[in-house]
Amino acid sequence: MTAVNLEGNRLAEGRENMHIAIVGHVDHGKSTVIGRLLADTGSLPEGKLELVREFCRRNARPFEYAFLLDALKDEQSQGITIDSARCFFKTEQRNYIIIDAPGHIEFLKNMVTGASRAEAALLVIDATEGVQENSRRHGYMLSLLGIKQVAVLINKLDLVDYSRAVFETVMEEYRVFLEKIGIEPPCFIPVSGMQGDNIAALSEKMPWYRGPSVLEILDAFEGEKPDQDKPFRMPVQGVYKFTRDGDNRRIIAGTVEAGTLTVGDRVIFYPSGKMSRVKSIEAFNESKKDSLSTGYAAGFTLAEQVFVSRGEIATLAGQLKPGVTSRIRANIFWLGREPFRKQKQYLFKLGTARIGATLEEVVKIIDASSLAVTRKDYLDKHDVAECILKLDRDIAFDPPDVLVQTSRFVIVDNYEIAGGGIVEEALADIHQATREKVHLRNIKWEKGCVEEEERAERYNQKPTLVLVTGKKEINRKQVAKALEKKLFEEGKPVYFFSMGNLLYGIDADIKASVKNDKKEHFRRLAEVANIMLDAGLILIVSVIELTREDVRQLGLGVNHEKIATVWLGEEVNTAVDIDLHIPETFSQDKTVATIKEYLQKKGIIFKPW
Amino acid sequence: MDHLTRLENKSIHILREAYSEFKSLCMLWSVGKDSTVMLWLARKSFFGHVPIPLVHIDTSFKIAEMIAYRDRLALKWRLDMIYGQNFKALQEKQTFPDGNCTRLQCCKLLKTEALINTLSGNWPRYRLNHDTGKYELDHNREPYSGVIVGVRSDEEGTRSKERYFSPRGKKSNWDLADQPPEFWNQYKTDFSPGTHVRIHPLLDWTELDIWEYISREKIPTVSLYYNQGEGTRYRSLGCAPCTRPVESTAKNVAEIVEELKTGQFSKIAERSGREQDKEDGGGLETLRVDGYM
């Protein structure tokens, strides 16, 4: 019946917590099963049972264990669970946090929310109704969410006279479905939530079933194991330097998703490819440590300072490299009110990275219940599909078989998380050659003895590439030069550079007329900018009608956080995110003053103290 | 990794996400045990620093020792301490202790209203000047778009339905029937103008976890939590007129941990000493939907 080992699994000391999701079709009795688990393990607060009995009496409804959970007033009146409530109980082995996920199709996003926190799941199917649409859909979602330990409870056996035949028919139908989606046949338990059969203990009424009870199967599930043996991965949450009270540490902070990190290790940050060495492990109110392992929300300092920012993933040199690309193939489930469609700009979040994204292609849509494959070029709410996404910048990730934590992402539409997905594969994009050059350049880069921060403090500015752009007839160069003069007069190390200045020197070996060379032209501009910024300068470059692709190209060679864009005059739609728009009606002086004010506000030039 | 460390790391991760993603962020500090643990976790997250302002809603009916403890720690840990208050209601004596309204109305005026208007910057905020040790009118009236709150899901029904990052509407209202999805350590950090997000780093902690962590980390707490020889202690702290102590002999952290482990309180709700909950039909739903913590 079950391959789960029930013996030899006892924890000696210390309490382990386990999150268990309970899912299934609406009205199949999930809440009743939980209510019963709570009652039978003596986990209810005093008076709670009486309160609910009283509620039922007043409202002339039969008492149900389910009401124990439906703590919210409007839920009790509707009789359905609308969100994932959590409740706690414990066995001798460990503490359980049961997440009651709603079965109603309308609340799939709540089911996903609840189930994604779980390490294992109970899936409830009503024996009288058999396998229903959401029984299958939820099973499919569990596999997408990556929950591998699932027990199927076939419920309401009391209503079918505890029939073994009914149990086995439902079990067989569901087992076939699970096999199709690649889930190993889990354990099936015949239960009655209402009567308490096979929940806390095996029932006399089903002598034909001698597998585990629900409580036993819960205790047999295995807790999350840290991915210690996998390559080191730590998405950077922030780079902290809190100088108050004389603290000079510059700390790279994040949570270790896999692997270990030791003082002295060579770390490489992706997607930038910047490399340094670990100087120290940092923590507060803890004894000094020399290494960090999986699961720790940690921090470390670097021996040589390199510019890294939130969104990069720290990895170890010599271990498997993460994928870096701006085009991916992914499996996506869509939860948004509005469909997921092409030509619309979305926000893509993986690890700590946030990047603009568009849907390039829907490869196929899979019906999560019938498993039929259809084709559409957009995703409706609750669709599950294989898609190709195009990102505005490079992303670092791992395929799910390497590390699932760094392959999962969400998509934000109109301020809301509207979809989730798993990156299956990095696809070729047009930036591959440039990216490889930049990575090699970063790894080989030799630094002097002056740190970037020391330069910034000396010059009172953050090195930045300021792109002054606008339509052809606007006098961008004049503004760019006036801005250079203004900042120079205020003592700032600043340099104006015309795109044309590249053509006959650095670009002398390529023909500007050949269309493909525009990419190479921008690559070289980015390399020049990178050197000047590394020297601590503010570099002002004027460009005609800057496009998203131009910024993308420059962003390969210069960190996107070091680029500021200013659009002069009438806007044209070149689909580029501009930091500052300046109306045509502004005089040159006012334009320059506005740009200066913006640079101050963004902390690029520091106000004189 | 033991389970307290696991909880600690998850909370730190959440605090850092909040710090990175919200420009105008604050943390509510009631000076109770939960939000003090949260404050400690902030010090852990930021390596001894607390780069987030702490906001305290002073109903003026808090037990006196709580305010003294607040200011003592604020000075010692160099906290950016801010408080707000419903001056009008207090001036007009629109309070339960003055006998002019019910407990629930009083809570709404002195806590919910004061909280909403302090967060939005509509009402004055007072900021601790570390040089003088006195509070001064704060000139920054920018609304807070991220508000970190130390609620735990095991406290009462509605809190068990919370997200880690939970949006509030233009009137600070909580639409609990239509909450955004939240999965894979990705949180709601985008929000439309005029709305804000409540951030709950302690959602997975239980009362026992809190005390075990206080014990492990040696976090200073108010003495009201301990039996001073009268055979009672406070289990949950609120305003003096509406908070009752429980019978207990626990005189220190270790004895509280022991007491909770024996299960003496396992069937009595933690907030059962908080009278306003009872007026709200046994829960906090009415208050919380309107913007209460």
Q: How far, in Å, CA of A99 to CA of A115, rounded?
A: 7
Ranked by mean pLDDT, which of A31-35, A481-485, B83-87 comes out on top? A481-485
Give all strands of the β-sheet with B54-57 in edge-to-edge order: B134-137, B126-129, B81-84, B54-57, B25-28, B146-148, B196-199, B165-168
Give a yes or no: residue A228 inside a domain: no
* pLDDT above 80 for A81: no
* pLDDT above 90 for A166: yes
Nearest by CB: B3 against A17, A51, A347: A17
Domain stops at, among A316, A335, A369: A316
Whether residue B282 lies within 8 A of chain A, CB to CB, comes out as yes
b (16+ CB within 10 A) / e for A317-337 = eeeebbbbbbbbbbbbbbbbe
Two tokens, residue A304:
């040589």
Look at B47 and A283 and tell me if their CB atoms are within 8 Å: yes
Q: How confident is the model at residue A66 (pLDDT cuts 50, 70, 90)?
A: low
* pLDDT above 50 for A12: no
Per residue, what are the HEC states of chain B?
A: CCHHHHHHHHHHHHHHHHHHHCCCEEEECCCCHHHHHHHHHHHHHCCCCCCCCEEEECCCCECHHHHHHHHHHHHHCCCCEEEECCHHHHHCCCCCCCCCCCHHHHHHHHHHHHHHHHHHCCCCCEEEECCCCEEEECCCCCCCCEEECCCCCCCCCHHHHCCCEEEECCCCCCCCCCCCCCECCECCCCCCCCCEEEECCCCCCCHHHHHHHHHHHCCCCCHHHCCCCCCEECCCCCEHHHECCEECCCCCHHHHHHHHHCCCCCCCCHHHHEHHHHHCCCCCHHHHHCCCC
Terminal-to-terminal C-alpha distance of chain B = 31
Per-residue pLDDT reduced to its tens digit, A219-228: 999 887 777 7
Q: How far, in Å, CA of B101 to CA of B89, rounded?
A: 11
Q: State whether A28 and A143 are in the same domain.
A: yes
Q: How far, in Å, CA of A452 to CA of A463, rounded?
A: 9
Give a yes or no: residue A606 inside a domain: no
Q: How far, in Å, CA of A324 to CA of A326, rounded?
A: 7
Give a yes or no: residue A8 inside a domain: no
A-chain residues within 8 Å CB-CB of B156? Answer: 71
Two tokens, residue A561:
């956080």
Q: How confident is the model at residue A68 (pLDDT cuts 50, 70, 90)?
A: low
Whether residue A257 contacts residue A235, with contact meaning beta carbons closer than 8 Å, is answered with: yes
Give a yes or no: residue A12 inside a domain: no
Count how many pairs of residues, chain A against chain B, have C-beta atoms within 8 Å.
152
Could you give the dihedral angle defined by the CA atoms of residues A520, A523, A527 and A532, in that order, rounded to the nearest 10 degrees? 110
Whether residue B218 contacts residue B36, with contact meaning beta carbons closer than 8 Å, is answered with: no
Whether residue A408 contacts residue A401, with contact meaning beta carbons closer than 8 Å, is answered with: no
- Res B80: pLDDT: 96
Look at A109 and B154 and tell me if their CB atoms are within 8 Å: no
* pLDDT above 90 for A500: no
CATH number of the structural domain spanning residue A264:
2.40.30.10
Residues 389-418 of A with CB under 8 A from B: 405, 408-410, 412, 415-417
Tell me how close the Cα of A310 comes to any Cα of chain B, in angstroms.
Answer: 8
Q: State whether A309 and A201 are in the same domain.
A: no
Give a yes or no: residue A442 inside a domain: no
* pLDDT above 80 for A588: yes
> Bridge partners of A96?
A18, A89
Q: State whether A243 and A304 are in the same domain.
A: yes
Q: How far, in Å, CA of A289 to CA of B46, rounded?
A: 17
Per residue, what are the HEC states of A358-424?
A: EEEEEEEEECCCCCCEECCCCECCCCEEEEEEEEEEEEEECCCCCCHHHCEEEEEECCEEEEEEEEE
* pLDDT above 60 for A165: yes
Nearest to A231, CA basis, from A270, A198, A262, A259: A259
* pLDDT above 50 for A572: yes
Q: State whether A211 and A238 are in the same domain.
A: no
Average pLDDT over residues A18-31: 86
Domain stops at, among A191, A220, A249: A220
Give a yes or no: residue A7 inside a domain: no
Q: State whether A113 and A84 are in the same domain.
A: yes
Two tokens, residue B8:
């600690």
- Which DSSP string do the residues of A83-124 spell out, in sequence order? S-EEEEEE-SS-EEEEEE---SGGGHHHHHHHHHT-SEEEEE
Provide the number of structural domains found in chain A.
Answer: 4
Residue given tokens 């059969």 in the structure block = A197
> Bridge partners of A197?
A192
Look at A244 and B78 and tell me if their CB atoms are within 8 Å: yes
Look at B186 and A410 and tell me if their CB atoms are within 8 Å: yes
Residue ranges, chain B, pLDDT below 50: none
Per-residue pLDDT reduced to its tens digit, A335-382: 999 999 999 999 999 999 999 999 999 999 988 888 889 989 999 998
- Res A79: pLDDT: 43
Give a yes or no: residue A95 inside a domain: yes
Give a yes or no: residue A128 inside a domain: yes
Per-residue pLDDT reduced to its tens digit, A514-546: 656 788 888 999 999 999 999 999 999 998 888
Per-residue pLDDT reduced to its tens digit, A216-254: 999 999 887 777 789 999 999 999 999 877 888 999 999
Look at A238 and B157 and tell me if their CB atoms are within 8 Å: no
Nearest to B236, CA basis, from B17, B31, B40, B41: B31
- Res A533: pLDDT: 96
Cis peptide before A271 (omega within 30 of 0): yes
Q: State whether A465 and A580 are in the same domain.
A: yes
Whether residue A288 lies within 8 A of chain B, CB to CB, comes out as no
B-chain residues within 8 Å CB-CB of A352? Answer: 17, 20
Domain stops at, among A268, A299, A316: A316
Per-residue pLDDT reduced to its tens digit, A427-467: 988 888 899 999 999 988 998 989 888 899 899 999 999 99
ipTM above 0.85, yes or no: yes
b (16+ CB within 10 A) / e for B96-108 = bbeeebebbbbbb
Per-residue pLDDT reduced to its tens digit, A247-288: 889 999 999 999 999 999 999 999 999 999 999 999 998 888
Task: List the single best residue of B20, B186, B217 to mutate versus A (max A Cβ within 10 A).
Answer: B186
From A61-70, A93-102, A422-431, the region with the lowest mean pLDDT: A61-70
Q: State whether A374 and A477 are in the same domain.
A: no
Q: Which domain holds residue A523?
A: 449-601
∠ CA A131-A135-A137 to the nearest 5 degrees?
130
Look at B47 and A242 and tell me if their CB atoms are within 8 Å: yes
Classify residue A245 by its DSSP letter.
G
CATH number of the structural domain spanning residue A61:
3.40.50.300
Average pLDDT over residues A587-592: 94
High-pLDDT (> 90) share of chain A, %: 56
Whether residue B141 contacts residue B126, with contact meaning beta carbons closer than 8 Å, is answered with: no
∠ CA B253-A98-A17 to the nearest 5 degrees?
45
Q: State whether A240 and A135 are in the same domain.
A: no
What domains appear along chain B, each with residue ranges and CATH number? Answer: 3-205+283-289 (3.40.50.620), 207-277 (no CATH)
* pLDDT above 70 for A58: yes
Mean pLDDT of chain B: 88
Q: How far, in Å, CA of A504 to CA of A498, rounded?
A: 12
Task: List the single best residue of B160, B170, B187, B270 to mutate versus A (max A Cβ within 10 A).
Answer: B160
Q: State whether A356 and A420 are in the same domain.
A: yes
A 10 A CB-CB count for A401 gives 8
Q: State whether A184 and A303 are in the same domain.
A: no
B-chain residues within 8 Å CB-CB of A117? Answer: 183
Q: How confident is the model at residue A47 (pLDDT cuts 50, 70, 90)?
A: low
Look at A415 and B192 and tell me if their CB atoms are within 8 Å: yes
Per-residue pLDDT reduced to its tens digit, A176-198: 998 888 777 679 999 999 899 99
Q: State whether A538 and A486 are in the same domain.
A: yes
Two tokens, residue B71:
């200011």
* pLDDT above 60 for A118: yes
Residues 238-277 of B with CB under 8 A from A: 266-269
Whether residue B127 contacts residue B134, with contact meaning beta carbons closer than 8 Å, is answered with: no
Q: State whether A312 and A275 are in the same domain.
A: yes
